Structure 1
Amino acid sequence: MSSQSSATSVASAARSKDVRPATRLDDIDRILLDQLSRDARTPNNALAALAGIAQSTCLGRVRALTEQGVIRGFHADIDPIALGRDLQAMIAVRVQANARKHLGRIARELVHLQEVLNVYFIAGADDYLIHVATSNSEGLRTFVLEHLSAHPAVAATETILIFEHVRPAHESHVTSCADG
């Protein structure tokens, strides 16, 4: 597997925490989280004003939410097309039955690949859903053959091309993979 990293995935995978059931969110936490989910670049003073709390209190709450794993990270959502990676796909991966004990290790290997945007461990017939972006169909073919089909733990893959990615209403843009 390649040693290159996926900027959007590696940091969160390395320090991913499950939100503890004991984590209680109050109305102020929810206001902060709602605004940060809309715009992670919201300045602390604006967050504090929105929540009706002091700036120092706001900073402390955001730090605590990060330490508790409620906020898993802050990142730039970069359009892969701007980086010359015009073709996006979701690849369903089924792992060999005898390799199931290595599922975590396989995910950690995948997030280091340049083409990988996200790795989802899923329920059902398949084990992973991998969101990738490549420069063209040859790049996608090479990725699947070299990094998935050739992997001894992989039993099967299914590739689904993404034509367009429409974000929820609270996010105000559409990422299009093709002009339609």
Structure 2
Amino acid sequence: MPLRNAQANLDHVDHQLLKALSEDADVTNKALAGRLGLAESTCAYRVRALREAGVITGTRVQLDLALLGHPLQAIIMVRLGSHTMANVNQLYDALAATPGVLQAFHVAGADDFYLHVAVENAEALRDFVLRHVTTHRVVRQTETHLVFEVRTGAGVLGSEGQ
């Protein structure tokens, strides 16, 4: 079922399940059912249905980047000199596959890509840009911004049921 059709069929319980799972993807079915006042079998069925409908697409582990030796985060804005489909797709694939890239965004506006990266220190950030970004012939310009702090937003379910 396409996501847009599944979205129209979500009820209040589905939204509660998604919000709870968004806050703690590791919660057990028993704990989730208890928290929402559902029978365990109903809870398991609903979560399975949300997965099958494509509403839940996976789970993620949050890493402490500083403890992994990558305490410095930055946003690197990349502008291209040539915008052919092949150039854009090839660069996007290469940037997203580069170690240290947390997220790669293809954007509209003056810039073409935003890279959210995590590195060891300022020297490593400089080297990252010089070795992995500006070496691509289609890159015309970069601009790097340090990230002081990252906070997770409320998300699309943040105000549901409140």
Q: TM-score normalised by the shorter chain: which range applies? A: 0.7 to 0.9
Q: Aligned-pair distance for 1:41? A: 1.2
Residue-by-residue CA offset, 1:60-95 (whole Å, 9 max, x unaligned): 332332343322321111121111112110111123
| Partner SS for 2:67 | helix
Return the match for 1:162 from 147, 154, 162. Answer: 147
Aligned counterpart, 2:83: 98
Aligned counterpart, 2:159: none
| Partner SS for 1:83 | coil
Report sequence identity in percent.
43
Unaligned 5+ segments in structure 2 are 156-162
Alignment of structure 1 residues 7-156 onto 2, 5 Å = 20-23=3-6, 24-156=9-141
Deviates more, 1:39-48 or 1:62-71: 62-71
How many residue pairs end up in the alignment? 152
| Partner SS for 1:70 | coil
Relative distance call for 1:27 and 1:76 in structure 2 (3 A) is same
Q: Aligned-pair distance for 1:117? A: 0.9
Relative distance call for 1:104 and 1:44 in structure 2 (3 A) is farther
Deviates more, 1:127-136 or 1:55-64: 55-64
| Partner SS for 1:80 | coil
Runs of 4+ in 1 over 6 A off after TM superposition: none
Deviates more, 1:62-71 or 1:110-119: 62-71
TM-score (norm 1): 0.73
Relative distance call for 1:22 and 1:161 in structure 2 (3 A) is same
Unaligned 5+ segments in structure 1 are 1-18, 171-180
The letter of the residue matching 1:45 is K
Rounded to whole Å, the distance in 1 between the matches of 2:110 and 2:101 is 21
Rounded to whole Å, the distance in 1 between the matches of 2:78 and 2:16 is 37
Relative distance call for 1:35 and 1:150 in structure 2 (3 A) is same
Relative distance call for 1:63 and 1:156 in structure 2 (3 A) is farther
Residue-by-residue CA offset, 1:25-79 (whole Å, 9 max, x unaligned): 2111100110111111111112223333332332233233234332232111112
Aligned counterpart, 1:173: none
Q: Aligned-pair distance for 1:105? A: 4.1
Q: CA RMSD in A?
A: 2.2
TM-score (norm 2): 0.80
